[in-house]
Amino acid sequence: EEGVDVSDCAFVIRFNKFNTTKSHIQGSGRARDENAEIYYFDNHPEEEENKAKRLDQVAKDQDLQLSEKERHRRRLASTKSRPGIYPFHSGDSEVNFFNCLQIVYEYCAKTMGQSFNPDDLFTYSEEQVCVYPPQSRRVVTEMKYPSPVGFITVTA
């Protein structure tokens, strides 16, 4: 979907089924040539183009836009506090989604000194995302961190 921008790309071939209009728009957007062709193996081209047009209409409809007040309310709701869980407070300190990894790295760097290597904290597995063309991604399966009694391991 997202990839190299080739200005004279004459065709795009989509081997695998995609399930979102965003995938259609990004994939077909690779075809930059004026007479470019797009080929689908599992999706219907006209149906996907109609969905993209509808998405564009909805996005431009002023009556469907959220007010600034509603956008602000939803932003606050998305980071809604869960007492004792999220965000975690201790005195004047807070751990949240935006600072948690940095806090773990800083803690490990201070406790382990020069022997700290962030890659040593995580164990990964490969997860197949697509059969053809073959694509996979690394997924964190466990994390370990130093403690006074040795390393503690947390599994996903």
DSSP string, 4-62: ---TT--EEEE-S----HHHHHHHHTT--STT-EEEESSS-HHHHHHHHHHHHHHHH-G
**How large is the average pLDDT for residues 36-61?**
88
**Both tokens of residue 154?**
């947390």
Residue 53, pLDDT score: 92
pTM of the full structure: 0.40
Contact indicator for 139, 127 with CB cutoff of 8 Å: yes
For the cut 60, the answer to whether the pLDDT of residue 84 exceeds it is yes
For the cut 60, the answer to whether the pLDDT of residue 2 exceeds it is no
